[in-house]
């Protein structure tokens, strides 16, 4: 995959224009598209992400989408968004075919004949945003994810199977109430492998085309990647936990004969002390059960008093998992003497679609109740110093920290990293089109509803010293939110 100007026909012309743009004193952008920037970069210079083919013998590069009017979607395009048929004659890809690019549109699966350059839309009128196509090795089927854009930001998605000969689609595992990622076919084309997040863990699962539900292959911790051997007899995967960074394992398709292959950090970890981890369930908002992860300092003594640090996850439709986070590493925080708490508040992923939707149109309130319930639970254990309570979070976690500052004063300090502070001025974000559904309204349609969910509305109550951290190139949560 490479970004190209579709009107240019050669690599030389591409290189020339790129040099001219870089050297030009004019740095202004003109666009009518909704997606004008993403995460930390602008995407309005006229280039599009195209799939290319490289002849290994001659090193010739061909733009497979040249002249077709097709392009991958511009936000983080990758090999997950296209696939080549087993016979090499067809390309399936995720594209946005909407005639009005300024609206929030669904994606479609389009197949392109690589000889005739004719295209065919497989998902017209599906009512879903269809993404991540994967051809079966025998070429009979294509599987993909379908997302309900009416739910927008928080839909878990569903699995769709397309039979190429009959042009029929059907839903796989319709009773599955969890999100799936990383689809891969078994070599015999009779089953799919996938990752499924469930209650703070993520495992590898197997789904036969004949079975109603997936069955587990590798569980425990967080599996984030895998590869199936050509003969289908072994699967190599990586798995991590709160106490161990990713390591490689091998296992049979039935989940037997698991063995460790490689742990690149074994020597380093032998010199590092890790704290114990525990999983609790507390009664959160409305008395509903909420999962809580606790990571203790390596030298933890329950007879002593320890400071508590909330590490509040972002998203909000993400989760604290029994996995290894390289940025917000809870073991690193615990090593500094904190008892670290991670709450999977209402709206977190891995607990079903209904749980995801519990905070829609009412950001902050239930998550705060869940976080406070976890604090109360930890105080009852007897080893937490109530005068040394700290809460930290990034992105939506930063929003929660700012929201908490206007609703409680029992914390000694807050750390707000890239936090959402004002939902009206957050219209400058790259994800503003989700607000009408996630907040329940745009601020001009229902100011009172949006203001109720916005931390800046409670600034007059702020009492707690706060460390504010932000990046100038953050286009998801613009830097002005920190100022």
Is the CB of residue 386 less than 8 Å from the CB of residue 437? no
- Quickly count: other Cβ atoms within 10 Å of residue 287's Cβ: 9
Model confidence at 165, pLDDT cuts 50, 70, 90, reads very high
Between 37 and 101, whose confidence is greater?
37
Q: Which of 103, 99, 172, 152 is nearest to 357 (CA)?
A: 152
Which of left, alpha, beta for 374 (phi over 0: left; psi -120 to 50: alpha)?
alpha
Residue 412 and residue 471: Cα distance in Å, rounded? 25
Quick one: average pLDDT of 448-460?
97
In this predicted structure, the answer to whether residue 103 has a pLDDT above a threshold of 70 is no
Helices (H), 225-312: 266-270
All structural domains of the chain = 2-266 (2.130.10.10), 273-481 (3.40.50.1820)
Residue 175 has which token pair? Answer: 């009773």
Query: What pLDDT shows up at residue 263?
Result: 86
In this predicted structure, the answer to whether residue 215 has a pLDDT above a threshold of 90 is yes
Residue 434 and residue 2: Cα distance in Å, rounded? 28
Quick one: average pLDDT of 130-136?
97
What is the sign, positive or negative, of the torsion defined by CA atoms of 214, 218, 220, 221? Answer: negative
In this predicted structure, the answer to whether residue 105 has a pLDDT above a threshold of 80 is no
Is the CB of residue 179 less than 8 Å from the CB of residue 203? no
DSSP for residue 14? H
The torsion angles phi and psi of 264, rounded to 5 degrees, stand at -65, -15
Query: What pLDDT shows up at residue 104?
Result: 67
Query: What pLDDT shows up at residue 152?
Result: 63
Q: Tens digit of pLDDT for each residue in 272-325?
A: 999 999 999 999 999 999 999 999 999 999 999 999 999 999 999 999 999 999
- Quickly count: other Cβ atoms within 10 Å of residue 357's Cβ: 15
**pTM of the full predicted structure?**
0.94
Nearest 5 degrees, angle CA 347-CA 311-CA 360?
Answer: 15
Give the contacts of 20 (CB within 8 A, at least 6 positions apart): none
User: Does the N-terminal peptide bond of residue 405 adopt cis geometry, omega within 30 degrees of 0?
Assistant: no
Residue matched to tokens 């005068």 = 387
């Amino acid at each position: 995959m490479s970004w190209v100007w579709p009107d240019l026909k050669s690599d030389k012309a591409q290189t020339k224009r790129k040099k001219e743009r870089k050297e030009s004193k004019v740095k202004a952008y003109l666009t009518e598209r909704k997606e004008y920037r993403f995460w930390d970069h602008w995407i309005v210079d006229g280039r599009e992400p195209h799939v290319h083919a490289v002849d290994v013998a001659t090193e010739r590069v061909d733009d497979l989408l040249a002249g077709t009017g097709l392009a991958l979607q511009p936000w983080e395009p990758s090999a997950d968004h296209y696939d080549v048929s087993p016979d090499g004659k067809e390309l399936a890809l995720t594209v946005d075919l909407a005639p009005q690019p300024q609206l929030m549109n669904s994606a479609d699966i389009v197949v392109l004949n690589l000889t005739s350059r004719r295209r065919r839309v497989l998902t017209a009128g599906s009512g879903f945003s269809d993404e991540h196509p994967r051809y079966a090795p025998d070429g009979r089927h294509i599987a993909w994810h379908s997302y309900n854009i009416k739910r927008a930001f928080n839909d878990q998605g569903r699995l769709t199977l397309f039979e190429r000969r009959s042009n029929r689609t059907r839903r796989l595992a319709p009773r599955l109430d969890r999100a799936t990622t990383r689809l891969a076919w078994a070599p015999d084309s009779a089953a799919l492998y996938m990752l499924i997040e469930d209650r703070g863990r993520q495992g590898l699962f197997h789904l036969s085309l004949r079975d109603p539900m997936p069955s587990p292959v590798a569980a425990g911790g967080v599996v984030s990647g895998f590869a199936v051997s050509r003969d289908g007899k072994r699967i190599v995967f990586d798995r991590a936990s709160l106490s161990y960074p990713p390591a490689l394992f091998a296992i049979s398709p039935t989940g037997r004969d698991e063995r460790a292959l490689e742990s690149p950090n074994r020597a380093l970890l032998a010199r590092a002390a890790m704290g114990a981890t525990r999983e609790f369930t507390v009664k959160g908002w409305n008395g509903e059960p909420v999962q809580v992860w606790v990571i203790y300092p390596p030298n933890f003594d329950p007879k002593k008093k320890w400071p508590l640090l909330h590490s509040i996850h972002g998203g909000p439709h993400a989760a604290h998992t029994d996995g290894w986070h390289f940025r917000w590493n809870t073991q690193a925080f615990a090593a500094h003497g904190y008892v670290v708490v991670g709450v999977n508040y209402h709206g977190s992923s891995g607990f079903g679609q209904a749980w995801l939707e519990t905070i829609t149109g009412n950001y902050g309130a239930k998550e705060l109740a869940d976080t406070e319930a976890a604090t109360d639970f930890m105080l009852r254990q007897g080893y937490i110093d109530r005068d040394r309570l700290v809460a930290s979070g990034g992105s939506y976690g930063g929003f929660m920290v700012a929201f908490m500052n206007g609703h409680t004063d029992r914390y000694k300090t807050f750390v707000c990293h890239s936090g959402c502070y004002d939902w009206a001025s957050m219209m400058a974000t790259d994800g503003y089109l989700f607000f009408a559904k996630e907040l329940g309204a745009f601020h001009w349609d229902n100011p009172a509803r949006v203001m109720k969910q916005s931390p800046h509305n409670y600034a007059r109550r702020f009492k707690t010293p706060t460390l504010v951290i932000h990046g100038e190139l953050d286009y998801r949560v613009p830097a002005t939110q920190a100022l």
